[in-house]
A = this chain, B = another copy of it.
Amino acid sequence: MNLNHLFLFRAVAEAGGFSRAAERVHVSQPAISMQVGELEAQLGLTLFHRLGRGVKLTGAGKLLLGYAQRLGALGAEAEQAIAELKGLRRGHLAIGASTTIGVYLLPNLLGEYRRRYPDIDLQFDIANTDDIERRLVDGTLGAGLTEGLPPDCHELETLVFLRDELVPIAGPDHPRIKTDRKALTIRQLCAEPMIVRETGSGTREVIDRALAKRGQKLQRPSLVLGSTEAIKRAVAAGLGVAIVSHLTIQTELAAGQLAILPVHGFRLNRPLHRLCWRNRARDPATLAFLALLDQRYPPELVSEHRPTRKS
């Protein structure tokens, strides 16, 4: 007994005859006879009284009809649910991101996603790279966006989706902002009172390494703060300058609370990575997210020779 048997049975019950049902479902009449006959043989009961002029349900037929209808409806519902999944009108998107991306980049991106696919449940978690890797591997996340070195997991595909510019900033009252807008040298920048994250923070390491490469180091780490947001406020208050991600200061730049310090020859960026399974089928929802991401930020493949986390 499969769904097709029951479908034809139902057609007969509803059409009131084998021939009429056959016509209605575009199949020959003997096909109907055989399927119904097989059903009757398997169940061991007659399902229709053959009246000569059409056909009528027996008690067993009435009983089965109820089930056939429910089974048909449920089967159709299943197919529709899957179709909705495929058509992005249902489903679940789970994204993991590191802090900066999660706070300053993802909300906007997910806003656009929600606008395009309003029926897909969204979930996004801010976590560190290790957690994101773990949750990608165990399937809890569909994709991850991270800032640090990408994890060295051969099951995951790693793409740089954006180079995050790190820029020197100062408050509106800084002399180089308020009076002359002449650019500093890098050496001069290093001599400014610099507000930084703690050593070990991803941002801090990028800065230290970049300066070291040019034979410089920070002269006056005047203040060490635990969050980018705190650093921005401190800089805005005139406590010093800082080097922060361009992503994090859009609002303050527009409001005039912060300004970019012009520095000769200063150019520093760090790659932002997009992580997801390499050889595994991806949800339509995740696929659509990745497509949206690629559309906003055309991707760039991470060569296998780049440094990765030991993990």
Contact surface of A with B, Cβ cutoff 8 Å:
1-4, 43-46, 49, 56, 58-60, 63-64, 67-68, 70-71, 74-75, 77-79, 81-83, 85-86, 91-92, 139, 280-281, 283-285
Q: Select A59's contact among B56, B79, B91, beta carbons within 8 Å.
A: B91
Also in contact, A74 and B77, with CB within 8 A (given A45-B85, A60-B85, A92-B59): no
Interchain Cβ contacts under 8 Å between A and B, 9 examples:
A1-B3, A3-B3, A43-B82, A45-B85, A45-B86, A59-B283, A60-B283, A63-B82, A64-B81
Q: Which residue of chain B has the shortest Cβ distance to A68 in the bound complex?
A: B78
Q: How many chain copies?
A: 2
Smallest distance from the beta carbon of A29 to chain B beta carbons, Å?
Answer: 20
Q: Is the interface of A mostly helix, strand, loop or mixed?
A: helix
Pairwise interchain contact B59-A70, C-beta atoms closer than 8 A: no
Complex contacts, A71 vs chain B, CB 8 Å:
71, 74-75, 78
Q: Which residue of chain B has the shortest Cβ distance to A91 in the bound complex?
A: B59
Pairwise interchain contact B82-A78, C-beta atoms closer than 8 A: no
Complex contacts, A79 vs chain B, CB 8 Å:
1, 43
Pairwise interchain contact A58-B1, C-beta atoms closer than 8 A: no
Smallest distance from the beta carbon of A157 to chain B beta carbons, Å?
Answer: 15
Also in contact, A45 and B2, with CB within 8 A (given A74-B74, A78-B71): no
Smallest distance from the beta carbon of A286 to chain B beta carbons, Å?
Answer: 9
Give A276 to B45 CA distance when docked, in angstroms: 18
